[in-house]
A and B are shown apart, each in its own frame.
Chain A
Amino acid sequence: MSATSVPAETALSRDGPQAQTAQARRGSLEVRNLQVVYGSAIEAIRDVSIEVEPGQIVALLGSNGAGKSTLLKAISGVLGEEEGKIESGVISYDGVDVTARSADEIVRLGLMQVPEGRRLFAPLSVDENLDMGGYIADTRTLAKRRAVVFELFPRLAERRRQISGYLSGGEQQMVAIGRALMAGPDFLALDEPSLGLAPIVIEQIYAVIRRLNRDLGLTVLLVEQNAQRALGIANYGYIIERGRIVFDGTAAQLEKNADVREFYLGVSGSGQKSLRDVKHYKRRKRWLS
């Protein structure tokens, strides 16, 4: 079997075509009543429950400081780096309780995160960043997956020997996504992939996310402040505010909801409006009623 003749779907999966068809689809995530506290004092998220079914794109929307990244860090098992701790609640992935698992165990189960701000290994080349994404894989698999990544992002193939820290923001985001794909995940959590990028670049990134989901069957948890963009490709969405899920529904339901339209999509009777213009209790009351 040569590297070039392998279809993208199987090249990216962690255990080849046989296992792919024999097993139930992977990539289901369930978070139950999660509470996360930083430095045993600051409660960043409280009683958060979300569910992502295999093959879905689920959007997690919320403004700055709402607790989106905290939730992703909890899922990936990297809260400890910042003195964060899961006080209560359960995270399970594909039926496995991963609440207390280490980051590398979670990666091995097939859940990868593309962190906020991309966090490339700046002094390393594009190729080396991709190698690190596939740290848990063997060399042969790496070559196949790299081919898939370059097929998704042809620009990276041209830049493969360049130091990643000097690439443009859009290219860096491509490396960050490509790097995560090198681990052969079933589940991809993306933390604000459109942050700081030009609209045309966001378009490209979103096209790839959609393709990863549709063609390669990846389950996607998409964290964004940019609600319009995210709901454009999501099946389902959650809205998080001050560490609590305040609203959830299908993308269509969210887009129709008057409050979501007003506060997250910037459409309302009185024109453009910022969240900060409205008192918090008022928003909460309306959503919870």
Chain B
Amino acid sequence: MQYLLDQVISGIAVGAIYGLVAMGFALIYKATGLVNFAQGEMSMITAYIAWSIAGTVSGNPWLVVGGALAASVVLGLAIERVVMRPMLGEPVFATVMVTIGLAVVLRSATLLIWDAYPHALDIGAGREIVHIGDTGVRSAQLAVMATLLLALGAFWAFFRYSRIGKAMRAVAADERAAKLMGISAARIHAVAWTASSVIAGIAGVFSALLYDVSPNMFHVGLKSFPATILGGLDSVLGSGFGGVIIGVAENLAAGYLAPSVKEITGFIVIIAMLMIRPFGLFGEREIERV
């Protein structure tokens, strides 16, 4: 029983990382209709920047977090402006290929700027063990769960109450009609890329805290993609929950079946899922009515 509890709790923590990255996927898909194959790489770049800051100013977690957040904003804005905006109006296939190219570029840049070895990210916090009942968890694990909850709440309010959030849903529903209302799709896209970069970056920093920074960190994108499919590619909140489900399922499969099953658990879950609800657990079914 204790073993089960341990697996579930650490599964939720990993799942929270997947969930944050997955929300980033969904946000871009919702606003632009694209799957961004560079999501994991964006997450990795921000984690590396956090590591660089931590190496320069040691022992100040707030500075590291603040610097990483600022870097992720710049990264998101820059990618949208420099790489994606020129692709506006091009076929979706070509644009998705561009995100794959971007992923490769970001991976090489990581190796060029930093190095090929794993490093521990030490910000002077996050490693303390906290006990919940008999389960010991690291404070960073609790923090990432809290962050996911916060992100879910924030995005819920954003889509429901803010002008930009509603406009993002409008652009997702009908981009041309949104234009006719004076909504600038380019601006909405920029917001989506930026927000997506920020939550992916936060996930990257947590992942670095719990594990390492390493040039393999972009795999978090591959692990999180099933979470987005599970939750619904166009459902930002659903993707966040999807991450938790995948994280827990992975841990249980590894703990009770075989460690080697872990890597493919996510994909098995989504294959089963897609047979039952092709648009994801929380995805919006097209409303068709004339």
Contact = CB atoms under 8 A, between A and B. Distances in A.
Interface of A: 76-78, 80-81, 102-104, 107-108, 112-113, 115, 119-124, 128, 131-133, 135-136, 163, 165-166, 169, 179, 183, 196
Given A131-B163, A135-B167, A122 B173 contact: yes
Interface string B151-175: 0000000000001001101100111
Contact of A124 (B163, B166, B288): B166
B173 A196 contact: no
Nearest to B89: A80
B177 A121 contact: yes
A36 B167 CA distance: 29
4 residue pairs, one from A and one from B, having the closest CB atoms: A165-B287, A107-B182, A119-B177, A104-B182
A165 B182 CA distance: 21
A78 B89 CA distance: 12
A121 B174 contact: yes
B91 to A, nearest CB: 11
Contacts of A121: 169-170, 173-174, 177-178
Interface residues of B, number: 23
Contact of A81 (B179, B284, B289): B179
Contacts, number: 81
Given A81-B175, A163-B287, A124 B182 contact: no
B82 interface: no
Contacts of A124: 166, 169-170, 173
B176 A78 contact: yes
A183 B178 CA distance: 13
A121 B177 CA distance: 8
Interface in B177-233: 177-184
B182 A120 contact: no
Nearest to B183: A135
B132 interface: no
Nearest to B180: A113
Contacts of A81: 89, 175-176, 179
A123 B182 contact: no
A253 B130 CA distance: 86
B290 interface: yes
Given A121-B173, A122-B173, A124-B170, A132 B178 contact: yes
Given A115-B180, A120-B174, A131-B166, 19 more contacts: A81-B89, A81-B175, A81-B176, A103-B180, A103-B182, A104-B179, A104-B182, A104-B183, A104-B184, A113-B180, A115-B177, A119-B177, A119-B180, A120-B177, A121-B169, A121-B173, A124-B166, A128-B169, A131-B163
Contacts of B284: 123
